[in-house]
Amino acid sequence: MSDQAEVAATAPPEATAAARRTVPVVGMIGAGQLARMTSQAATDLSIGFRVLAASPADSAALVCQGTRVGDYRSADDLAAFAAGCDVVTFDHEQVPAAALAGLARSAAAIRPGPAALRFTQDKRAMREWLTARGIACPEYAPVTTAADTGAFAGRHGWPVVLKAVSGGYDGRGVWVCGDAAEAAAVLAGAAARGIALLAEQHVAFERELAALVARSPAKQGAAYPVVQTVQQDGICREVLAPAPGLAPGRAAEAQHLALRLAAELDVTGLLAVELFETADGLLVNELAMRPHNSGHWTIDGSRTSQFEQHLRAVLNLPLGDPSPTAAAAVMVNVLGGDDDDLHDRLIHVWAADPGVKVHLYGKQVRPGRKVGHVTVAGEDAAALRDRATRAANYISLGTEEP
């Protein structure tokens, strides 16, 4: 027999140390939206999950019980954070090599490991590694002077893309220079800040693709469908999954390339390979070893979200089914506009379209900043793109009819 008093009297002591004995703790360095969405996946697995945040107001820190505040550039802070974790992984690739080395002295497994991460942090090393293996990339050369850059342009033409060898993301640290004068200004600025630069051929691509795969320490691999990404000012605006009209052979080539890179670089966790599709084939643009903007659609459009997949991979658990759950899915990022009241606009978006999935990141709105994304999954890719774009633009700006 049971009544309310009895229910209360037998209320469980819950989640004791014994029950948690074998539950692993994953720590993620960084507390942006990637860590925030990973924390949602960690809840389903009932693992311990911690984030190393710069501030308690960081996107993931706002929702994650296991938030620790510290500096990802400090080897001491990283070591203290890692001491409570079984596995340490990353929401960004900004951790300096010296701090990573400190982390490597902790007992926690670092996944992906520093040897792999290096190729996301040093674009010159990445280009050299790929080129040595005959993997097609844009032409490139390290440059320090106007003469270097001019010689590169002489071989490959203007515009020339100048990139910071380290530290860039979301279009930061990338300058498309139309002529020698623009290049000179970038070179001068970089020299003043001690930033090493790489010149890259400005590729006349047909479109950009991304191949997202996961790999576990047990060497299992899993590949998501290859997607098309649409960038604007260096920031991902849209992802079309799968890439519309992509030849099956080309899609398989991209998946195999990403799985090969993951294996040869000994990646554990996710690897996103950003690609240029050109008339002559695929070129590797960038690598990321973490959940990636090109994979946000998987939350609402795949059996296994990229966030759960990353956790399964770094925990050396069997990888999840990466199959799509709909014929097509379109993700559009919500960028900050002039009005910070995103929530007030949800009513309009959802009244117009009850099937739009909205993910807001809790970040302060600033013009152009990624503050959320929307995904629509279904049958007709063109219609989905229209719906997702309309919803994202309305949340961003509040000026377009929802």
Q: Which amino acid is at 68?
A: R
Output phi, psi for 229, to 5 deg: -115, 145
> Which pair of structure tokens corresponds to residue 375?
């995904």
From 23, 22, 24, 74, select the one nearest 52 (Cα to Cα).
74
Distance CA 286, CA 117 (A): 13
DSSP state of 105: T
End-to-end CA separation in angstroms for the chain: 54
Question: What is the Cβ-side half-sphere exposure of residue 222, based on CA atoms within 13 angstroms?
Answer: 26
Output 312 or 385, the one with its CB closest to a copy of itself.
Answer: 312
User: Interaction with a copy of itself in 227-266: which residues (CB under 8 A)?
Assistant: none
Output 64 or 130, the one with its CB closest to a copy of itself.
Answer: 64
Identify the residue among 26, 30, 35, 36 touching a copy of itself (CB under 8 A): 36
> Which pair of structure tokens corresponds to residue 360?
């807001």
Output 165 or 275, the one with its CB closest to a copy of itself.
Answer: 165
Identify the residue among 94, 131, 231, 278 touching a copy of itself (CB under 8 A): 94
Output 155 or 172, the one with its CB closest to a copy of itself.
Answer: 172
Q: What is the chain's Cα-based Rg? A: 22
Q: Which one of 136-144, 242-250, 288-296, 344-352 is the stretch in contact with a copy of itself (CB under 8 A)?
A: 344-352
Distance CA 256, CA 261 (A): 9
Q: Answer for the pair 228, 239: CB distance below 8 angstroms, yes or no.
A: yes
Output 113 or 322, the one with its CB closest to a copy of itself.
Answer: 322
- The yes or no reply on residue 384 touching a copy of itself (CB under 8 A) is no
- The yes or no reply on residue 15 touching a copy of itself (CB under 8 A) is yes
Number of residues binding to a copy of itself, judged by CB under 8 A: 90
Output 283 or 331, the one with its CB closest to a copy of itself.
Answer: 331
Identify the residue among 128, 253, 350, 368 touching a copy of itself (CB under 8 A): 350
Q: Answer for the pair 319, 309: CB distance below 8 angstroms, yes or no.
A: yes
User: Interaction with a copy of itself in 105-144: which residues (CB under 8 A)?
Assistant: none
Minimum separation from the CB atom of position 207 to a copy of itself (A): 26
- The yes or no reply on residue 357 touching a copy of itself (CB under 8 A) is yes
Identify the residue among 157, 178, 245, 355 touching a copy of itself (CB under 8 A): 355
Output 13 or 248, the one with its CB closest to a copy of itself.
Answer: 13
Output 101 or 247, the one with its CB closest to a copy of itself.
Answer: 101
Identify the residue among 9, 25, 58, 221 touching a copy of itself (CB under 8 A): 58
- The yes or no reply on residue 11 touching a copy of itself (CB under 8 A) is yes
Identify the residue among 101, 347, 382, 383 touching a copy of itself (CB under 8 A): 347
Distance CA 96, CA 120 (A): 11
| DSSP H/E element including 308 | helix 306-314
Distance CA 387, CA 348 (A): 13
| DSSP H/E element including 25 | strand 25-29
Beta bridge partners of 278: 281
User: Interaction with a copy of itself in 273-312: which residues (CB under 8 A)?
Assistant: 300, 303-304, 312
Identify the residue among 26, 47, 236, 251 touching a copy of itself (CB under 8 A): 47
- The yes or no reply on residue 9 touching a copy of itself (CB under 8 A) is no
Minimum separation from the CB atom of position 366 to a copy of itself (A): 7
Determine how many CB atoms are found less than 10 A away from the CB of residue 48: 18
Binding track, positions 179-218, relative to a copy of itself; x by CB under 8 A: -------x--xx--x-x-----------------------
- The yes or no reply on residue 44 touching a copy of itself (CB under 8 A) is yes
> Which pair of structure tokens corresponds to residue 107?
């007992």
- The yes or no reply on residue 397 touching a copy of itself (CB under 8 A) is no
Output phi, psi for 132, to 5 deg: -60, -25
Q: Which one of 136-144, 281-289, 335-343, 380-388 is the stretch in contact with a copy of itself (CB under 8 A)?
A: 335-343
The three state secondary structure string of 330-356 is EEEEEECCCCCCCHHHHHHHHHHCCCC
User: Interaction with a copy of itself in 139-178: which residues (CB under 8 A)?
Assistant: 164, 166-168, 172-173, 175
The alpha carbon dihedral of 64, 68, 73, 79 has a sign of negative
Minimum separation from the CB atom of position 281 to a copy of itself (A): 31
